[in-house]
Chain A
Amino acid sequence: AQSVTQPDIHITVSEGASLELRCNYSYGATPYLFWYVQSPGQGLQLLLKYFSGDTLVQGIKGFEAEFKRSQSSFNLRKPSVHWSDAAEYFCAVGAGDDKIIFGKGTRLHILP
């Protein structure tokens, strides 16, 4: 069965510092992978997605993610975070039946 693991429940970084959020997935075939962001009390916004091709994908708001098949990982990165990036981030994997399985999320805190 498909699953997603986000090992870090909370991450705190200083404004201007670099960020990496970890994501590991379990899926038998080539996965469809996503990162979503959720601000408090809001729905989810798609940051980026990987379906095939270049394993380094660029998203909105300056985020990028790298698909590493050998490590079953799809980590999210940003070179310099802004206070407005404080939110909850969800990694997700899509299966052939069009259903998306989400991880439990990582809450990002930004120090001024």
Chain B
Amino acid sequence: DTGVSQDPRHKITKRGQNVTFRCDPISEHNRLYWYRQTLGQGPEFLTYFQNEAQLEKSRLLSDRFSAERPKGSFSTLEIQRTEQGDSAMYLCASSPNRALEQYFGPGTRLTVT
């Protein structure tokens, strides 16, 4: 299966620690998106890439968050100095070119204690 994959699926960390998540999109998909989903809410847009270029960042993406897609393939999302409010499901999606049809990965559930 060549769907979107995310690693790890679950992460428990203590407040103040740094965490990094990885997303591998569907091969040949140029666009890659990151979303955050908290309990009882729909996914909220964080940022997206066209190949290796980060084209837009949400106001939700504080300066503790950074995302990269160095070779236009996989992407990483890093959260520095985690806070309890960062506890959420982090979803990655990819799409071909400018198509709006996004394919989602299974997500990484982050718990900050």
B-side interface residues, number (CB < 8 Å)? 23
Q: Is the CB of A102 within 8 A of B100?
A: no
Give the docked Cα–Cα distance between A49 and B48 (Å): 21
Contact of A43 (CB < 8 Å), options: B31, B41, B42, B105: B105
CB neighbours (8 Å) of B31 from chain A are 98
Give the docked Cα–Cα distance between A86 and B31 (Å): 31
User: Are A43 and B45 CB-contacts (below 8 A) given A97-B56, A99-B56?
Assistant: no
Contact of A99 (CB < 8 Å), options: B4, B42, B48, B109: B48
In this complex, what residue of B is CB-closest to A93?
B100
Which residues from chain A sit less than 8 Å from chain B, CB to CB?
4, 9, 32, 34, 36, 41-46, 49, 51, 90, 92, 94, 97-105
Contact of B102 (CB < 8 Å), options: A51, A97, A100, A105: A100
Q: Is the CB of A100 within 8 A of B104?
A: no
Which residues from chain B sit less than 8 Å from chain A, CB to CB?
4, 31, 40-45, 48, 56, 91, 93, 95, 98, 100-107, 109
Q: Is the CB of B101 within 8 A of A43?
A: no
Give the docked Cα–Cα distance between A46 and B4 (Å): 13
Q: Is the CB of A98 within 8 A of B98?
A: yes
CB neighbours (8 Å) of B109 from chain A are 41
Contact of A102 (CB < 8 Å), options: B4, B44, B95, B107: B44
CB neighbours (8 Å) of A51 from chain B are 100
Q: Is the CB of B45 within 8 A of A42?
A: no
In this complex, what residue of A is CB-closest to B9?
A41
Tell me, rounded to whole Å, the shortest Cβ–Cβ distance linking B45 to chain A. 5
Of the A-B pairs whose beta carbons lie under 8 Å apart in the complex, a sample of 9, sorted by A's number, is: A45-B104, A46-B101, A51-B100, A90-B43, A97-B56, A98-B48, A99-B56, A100-B102, A101-B45
Give the docked Cα–Cα distance between A97 and B47 (Å): 12
In this complex, what residue of B is CB-closest to A51?
B100
Q: Is the CB of A44 within 8 A of B41?
A: no
CB neighbours (8 Å) of B4 from chain A are 43
Q: Is the CB of B56 within 8 A of A46?
A: no
Contact of A100 (CB < 8 Å), options: B40, B45, B56, B98: B45
Tell me, rounded to whole Å, the shortest Cβ–Cβ distance linking B58 to chain A. 9
